[in-house]
Chains A and B, each alone.
Chain A
Amino acid sequence: MTQVFNMADLSTAAPEVIVSLVAMLILMLDFIAPRGRRDWLGYLSVLGVLLTLMVLIRQWGAPRSAFSGQYLSDPFALFFKIVFLVSAALILLMSIGYLKSEGIDKGEFYGLILFATLGMMLMASAVDLLILYIGLETMSISIYILAGFLKRERRSNEAALKYLLMGGFSSAVILYGIVMLYGLTGALGLKDIASALTADKLTNPALILAMVMLAAGFGFKIAAVPFHMYIPDVYEGAPTPVTALLSAASEIAGLAILLRVFLVAIPGLQDRWALLFYVLSLLTMTVGNVVAIAQSNIKRMLAYSSIAHIGYLLIGVVAGRELGISATLLYSLVYALMTLGAFAMVILLCVGEVKGERIDDFTGLAQRSPMAAAAMLILLLSLAGVPPTAGFVGKLYLFGAAIERGYIWLAVIAVVNSAISLFYYMKVAMAMYMQDVPPAGLALSPSRPLRVALFVAVAGTLAIGVYPGPFLDLARASVAGLW
């Protein structure tokens, strides 16, 4: 025990190291930055994220483990980290303009987003339940603070408190599940747990309980029904970039650990947990879509729509095999892009008194700003799964995985849900294109970074929709070595 870790470990974990260094640098620079000129801290964070992304892509290849086998940098982890880093970059870009328009002059916002990203990256790479838990808490605690960042807004405070309480509760449930697994097997490494669970132990009721605990805890983190109650309020109250972070990145991070733990640690129970997620998936997409119809606040609508999308994502988990898991991975990327694009639009509409939060605020957008309306239309069609957008390719792949495994009814319910979802997405399109412009239509003046973020999201959505080949191959390659 002379050397806890060495340089090889550090270079394997280089992406995490860089992100944490940049985050700390931002926090320190925040002290010396002149008042009112803190947006360059945002640009610096984006640069840091892009640098990390470059380092990350160079790591692609054979899996490398570090820190006594607790940390694994395999294609599966790298794929998720790419999703997180791309999301983080887009969210940082959105935040720069958002903080200015809200009059918040604090660099720590960017730092906290980076810390949350660090947590997610750790979660993706964790092959040990302790590292996993540390990553989870790093992410959650950063987001607790971020959710309450609009100090003077009651809704923001409510969001932070609700998220803190529910998040703490769910973390405890996860921890309880971890403890039971540890008690049963005496191991924390996922592979060790799997090998310790011999056939006779698989029928142990305590193991089933541990599985249910973990499913429930992860269910909270990914906002699956019935663990979704807090989501709409948190989404509505939190600052919009944080909402984007929550829905696009943090839920995907939850999904990453869910996949890794269930597939690697307790594959022996696949029949049982597939059934569990089957029910969760059905409930999640149906409740999400049906309740979304009734929303008039776009952030709440997107909250329910994100719940519905989690339901679709779980289809891949149910299907379980290579096809299903790679479908979930691909759809995670697709979902992150289109959701981030939609939230960028919400921020874009924050002009003066108009907060861009009511669907009515989109009225007549097609005439005020045709490009913005067209961008939103593409995102909405993608969310609804209409080709030629990424949403369609992702759903096709997910439903295909379900059909292949014979989950016909799940696929039928899912496509019916897709059709339902079109109704509320098209409500926004209807407002944009088919209703007359309000007399006092404000001119939009989006900040340049926001425009870049929106452009990347829309371009990505179209690119995956029109030429999905490379992305599909990437998703397939990422799950190949998982088992």
Chain B
Amino acid sequence: MNVLQFPILSLIAYLPLLGVFLILLIPKEAKGGIRWTALAFALASFVASLWIPASFDAATPEMQFVEKFSWIPTLGVTYFFGLDGISIWLVMLTTFLSVIAVICSWESITERLKEYYIFLLILETGMLGVFFALDFFLFYIFWEVMLVPMYFLIGVWGSDRRLYSAIKFFLFTLFGSVIMLLGILAVYFSHGAQTGAYTFDVLQLMNVSYPSTPLFTILGVPFSFQDVVWLSFFLSFAIKVPMFPFHTWLPDAHTDAPTAASVILAGVLLKMGTYGFIRFNLPMFPEATRHFVPMIMILSIISIIYGAMVCMVQPDMKRLIAYSSVSHMGFIMLGMFALNAQGVQGSIIQMVNHGLSTGALFLIVGLIYDRRHTRLISELGGLSKQMPVYATLFAIIMLSSMGLPGLNGFIGEFLILVGAFKVNYVWAAFAVTGIVLGAAYMLWLYQRTMFGALENPKNADLKDLSLREMSTLVPIVIMCFWIGLYPSPFLARMEASVNNILTRVNKAQAAAAGPALSHVKGSVQTQPSAVPIQEPR
């Protein structure tokens, strides 16, 4: 697949780690040197990653840019990196947001700079590894390695209750991960028993179907081997997403994290949960996936509505945006488990959208926090007169987060709702109320902070954005318009992979329930190409 036979994925993933080793050599007093080194390597990783969409073959659902080496032959562990239409945009999102994270920490982080950038760059390597890894052992390593730098970013450079939030984040996610580890082992041995080949290679593990005959029943619900393993993965990913009722770590972690960590957390880490579902749960355990659709739908709808309702009453801007993530991630889960092309494509594009707009919202809050050292909405008001550029960018991001046509959020929400309507009217109807509530709390937030009279004297001499600060927000805004107005390059590259996964999921359904496949095929291309006409603004 890889024309150059050049390990481009490893290069992208390990460039930040190389930066870490260089930073280790720089004395901690040389703050400028550390900042520029970090930026250089984050940027280098981003530039290298531009190669991926440029040479990506959209026609095939196969893994591309594959690198595979034997690592622990005794256990069947390989070093296996690859990328397909599911992960391509998440990878781009990661390298993109990492650059922004480095820039946005430029002036707000002044203490223990060296350690800070070391952790930030290790985090980037970990996140990229998660999206690249196609071997469960390797995947799990990156999955957990990522937690450590994030734990330190929150715990050392966070605010207020940072110690509590950091350990809460670490414990919640670790608890999920270790349960998933058992699931991985169960799959490993089940595959080994079926084929005689013991391997952690995800693609090979997907080649067999795992027992779906009920083993036992709890309260009248039958559970098969697939269901149990599915649930072990579910726990890990649902904590990460986070879905109601596993979301309680999120508001704490977000609120206390430094801005860059919030951006990464919202932008990339949460996506790992949804990525996990789509990469592992759906294709590997199709019967179980269908079995649990109602549960996921109910939890998603609760997440959407509950998250939005909580947003309404938050006095703290950062907490508000954290809860809005719960609501938006509920949408992504809803679209995915509609299990049709629109829903899944919408959920993937919405992952990217949410990463962009919520990441940007955290930047917005961070900018005001740097100036005023408060996040309380009541302390602000009337800022639009004082900071017109800031207010404009905030407005665009807010509208993108609400899903205004012409901006990126609309594409994702539209596709997700189309997908959901096809399956069940009631679910979609509930989901729509989430959009209405979303518009309400976002507009209200904007109104309270930006409009009205500038009453608080502390806000009277706030400076508008500097060039550096604008350089964090403007690229995101550009991407929001790009995806909103011309999404087909994004959708086209994921289509083959999405269809491939849906064929796997629905084959199980076809086998079980006969002809229910009619709405799956086709119609993928037509919907998105119709979208940009809506409003060119």
Contact = CB atoms under 8 A, between A and B. Distances in A.
A434 B112 CA distance: 11
A426 B151 contact: yes
A381 B189 contact: no
Contact of A386 (B75, B144, B155, B188): B144
A366 B374 CA distance: 29
Interface stretch (A61-69, A125-133, A398-406, A449-457): A398-406
Given A381-B148, A403-B189, A418-B178, A387 B171 contact: no
Given A387-B140, A469-B71, A400 B188 contact: yes
B141 A419 contact: no
Given A430-B155, A468-B72, A469-B71, A399 B181 contact: yes
A434 B163 contact: yes
B175 A416 contact: yes
Contact of A433 (B72, B152, B171): B152
Given A366-B115, A387-B140, A388-B141, A426 B167 contact: yes
Contacts of B178: 385, 415-416, 418-419
A430 B162 CA distance: 11
B179 interface: yes
Given A386-B144, A388-B145, A418-B178, A367 B171 contact: no
B174 A419 contact: yes
A469 B72 contact: yes
A476 B155 contact: no
B130 interface: no
The residue in A404, A419, A423 that gathers the most chain B C-beta atoms within 10 A of its C-beta is A419
A411 B182 CA distance: 7
B170 interface: yes
Contacts of A370: 115
B162 A434 contact: yes
B443 interface: no
Interface in B178-227: 178-179, 181-182, 185-186, 188-189
A396 interface: yes
A345 interface: no
Given A388-B141, A388-B145, A472-B72, A396 B171 contact: no
A403 B182 contact: yes
Contact of A434 (B147, B166, B188): B166
B163 A430 contact: yes
A415 B171 CA distance: 12
A423 B71 contact: no
A396 B77 CA distance: 12
B141 A387 contact: yes
B74 to A, nearest CB: 5
B457 interface: no
B112 A422 contact: no
Nearest to B193: A404
Interface in B457-484: none
A473 interface: yes
B68 to A, nearest CB: 16
A426 to B, nearest CB: 6
Contact of A400 (B140, B166, B170, B185): B185
B387 interface: no
A473 B74 contact: yes
Nearest to A469: B72
A422 B170 contact: yes
A423 B167 CA distance: 7
Q: How large is the interface on B (under 10, 10 to 19, 20 to 34, 35 or more residues)?
A: 20 to 34
A137 to B, nearest CB: 38
Contacts of B189: 400, 403-404
A415 B145 contact: no
A412 interface: yes
B162 A472 contact: no
Interface string A47-84: 00000000000000000000000000000000000000
A454 to B, nearest CB: 18
A326 to B, nearest CB: 10
A415 B178 CA distance: 6
A189 B317 CA distance: 74
Nearest to A404: B189
Given A387-B144, A416-B178, A469-B71, A423 B185 contact: no
Contacts of B155: 430, 433-434
Contact of A419 (B72, B73, B152, B175): B175
Contacts of A400: 185, 188-189
Contacts of B141: 387-388, 392
Contact of A415 (B74, B112, B152, B179): B179
Contacts of A434: 152, 155-156, 162-163, 166
Interface in B120-179: 137, 140-141, 144-145, 147-148, 151-152, 155-156, 162-163, 166-167, 170-171, 174-175, 178-179
Contacts of A426: 151, 167, 170
A289 B25 CA distance: 38
Given A422-B170, A469-B71, A415 B182 contact: yes
A289 to B, nearest CB: 13
A422 B174 contact: yes
A403 B179 CA distance: 12
B25 to A, nearest CB: 13
Interface in A418-433: 418-419, 422-423, 426, 430, 433
B170 A415 contact: no
Nearest to B158: A434
Contacts of B140: 387
A359 B148 CA distance: 20
Contacts of A403: 182, 185-186, 189
Given A386-B174, A387-B141, A430-B167, 20 more contacts: A386-B144, A386-B148, A387-B145, A388-B141, A388-B145, A396-B185, A397-B75, A400-B189, A404-B189, A415-B178, A415-B182, A416-B175, A418-B178, A419-B175, A422-B171, A426-B167, A434-B162, A434-B166, A469-B72, A472-B74
24 contacts: A386-B145, A386-B147, A386-B148, A387-B140, A387-B144, A399-B185, A400-B185, A403-B186, A411-B185, A415-B179, A415-B181, A415-B182, A416-B178, A419-B171, A422-B174, A430-B155, A430-B166, A433-B155, A434-B162, A434-B166, A467-B71, A469-B73, A472-B75, A476-B74
Interface of B: 71-75, 112, 115, 137, 140-141, 144-145, 147-148, 151-152, 155-156, 162-163, 166-167, 170-171, 174-175, 178-179, 181-182, 185-186, 188-189
Interface of A: 366-367, 370, 381, 385-388, 392, 396-397, 399-400, 403-404, 408, 411-412, 415-416, 418-419, 422-423, 426, 430, 433-434, 467-469, 472-473, 476
Q: Please provide the 9 A-B residue pairs with the shortest distance between their CB atoms, ordered closest to farther.
A: A415-B178, A387-B141, A419-B175, A434-B155, A403-B185, A469-B72, A472-B74, A400-B185, A419-B174
